Structure 1
Amino acid sequence: MNRLPRDPLARTLLADRLIQTGWQIRSSHRAEHVSQQQFSDFHAHLRRAELLLIDVCAEHPEYALAWYLRVITSRGLQLGVGETRRRYDRLAEHHPHHFGGQSQLLQQICPKWGGSWEAVHGFAQECTQNAPAGSPTGALTAMAQMEHYLEVAEKGGTRAAETYLREPDNHARLRDAAARSVLHPAFRTDAHHAVNAHSAFAAAHSAAGRPAEAAPHFRALGDHASVFPWCYLGTGDHETEFVRHRKTALAKG
Structure 2
Amino acid sequence: MTTTAGGISGAPDRSAPSRSHPSDTHPDLVPLREAAARGDWPATAAFFARLDTEEERSFASGLLAEVDGVEGYLEAASADHPGDPLPRTLLAERYVHIGWAIRSRAMAEHVSREQFTSFHSWLRRAEQVLIEVCAEHPASAHAWTVRVTTARGLELGAAEARRRYDRLSAHHPHHYPAQTQLLQNVYPKWGGSWEAAHGFARECATEAPDGSHAGALVATAHVEHWAELEGARRATYLRDVAIRDDLRFAARVSVLHPAYRPRFHGTGAHGVFALAFALGGHHADALPHFRELDAPPPDSPWHYFSDPPAVFAKYRHAALSAARGESR
In structure 2, the partner of 1:242 is 312
Partner of 2:64: none
Contact 2:103/2:115, CA 8 A, preserved across alignment: yes
Counterpart in 2 of 1:210?
282
Higher helix share: 1
Q: Is the 8 Å Cα contact of residues 195 and 226 (structure 1) preserved in structure 2?
A: no
Matched with 2:158 is: 81
SS in 1 for 2:291: helix
Q: TM-score, normalised by structure 2?
A: 0.71
| Contact 1:139–1:197, Cα closer than 8 Å, also in 2 | yes
Instruction: Report the counterpart of residue 137 of structure 1 in structure 2.
Output: 214
Counterparts of 1:37 and 1:238, CA distance in 2? 32
The answer as to whether partners of 1:74 and 1:80 remain within 8 angstroms in 2 is yes
* 8 Å Cα contact 1:109/1:120 also seen in 2: yes
Q: Take 1:245 and 1:150, find their aligned partners in 2: how far apart are those partners?
A: 17
Which residue is equivalent to 1:180? 253
Aligned residues: 243
How far has the Cα of 1:184 moved from its partner?
A: 0.6
Superposition deviation, residue 210 in structure 1 = 2.0
**Counterpart code for 1:18:** Y
Tell me how large the CA RMSD over aligned residues is: 1.6
**Aligned letter for 1:133?**
D
With over 3 angstroms needed to count, the CA separation of the structure-2 counterparts of 1:22 and 1:207, relative to structure 1, is same
Asked if 1:11 corresponds to 2:88, the answer is: yes
Q: 1:110 to 1:165 in 2, by over 3 A?
A: same
2:128 corresponds to which of 40, 45, 51: 51
Alignment of 1:77-156 (within 5 A): 77-152=154-229, 156=230
1:195 aligns with 2:267: yes
- Range 207-216 or range 163-172, more displaced: 207-216
Is contact 2:295-2:312 (8 Å) kept? no
Shift of 1:102: 0.5
CA contact (8 A) 2:271 2:293 kept: yes
Structure 2 counterpart SS, 1:223: coil
Higher RCO structure, 1 or 2 (CA under 8 Å, sep 6+): 2
Q: String of CA shifts for 1:102-142, please: whole Å, max 9, x gaps.
A: 11111100111000111111111111111101011001110
Instruction: State how 1:27-38 maps to structure 2 within 5 Å.
Output: 27-38=104-115
Look up the SS of the partner of 2:292 in the other structure.
Answer: helix
2:296–2:302 CA contact under 8 A, matched in 1: no
Match of 1:226 among 289, 294, 298: 298
Letter in 1 for 2:172: H
Between 210-219 and 60-69, the greater mean CA deviation after superposition = 210-219
Identity, % of aligned positions: 54
TM-score by length of 1: 0.91
Cα separation, 2, equivalents of 1:142 and 1:40: 34
Partner Cα distance (2:120, 2:320) in 1 = 43
Mapped to 2, the partners of 1:239 and 1:40 lie a distance apart of 36
2:238 is aligned to 165
Which sits farther off after the overlay, 20-29 or 59-68?
20-29
Tell me if the contact between 1:228 and 1:238 (Cα under 8 Å) persists in the aligned partners. no
Contact 2:161-2:182 within 8 A present in 1 as well: yes
CA distance, structure 2, for counterparts of residue 178 and residue 217 of structure 1: 9
Of the two, which has the highest radius of gyration? 2
Partner of 2:322: 252
Structure 2: tracts of 5 or more residues without a match: 1-81, 324-328
Take 2:250 and 2:165, find their aligned partners in 1: how far apart are those partners? 22
Corresponding letter in the other structure for 1:86: R
SS of the residue aligned with 1:23?
Answer: helix
Q: Say if 1:15 and 1:50, in contact at 8 Å, map to a contact too.
A: yes
CA distance in 1, matches of 2:120, 2:241: 42
Q: 1:231–1:241: 8 Å Cα contact kept in structure 2?
A: no
Q: Secondary structure at the match of 1:70?
A: helix
Moved over 6 A (4+): none
Contact 1:128–1:177 (CA under 8 A) maintained in structure 2: yes
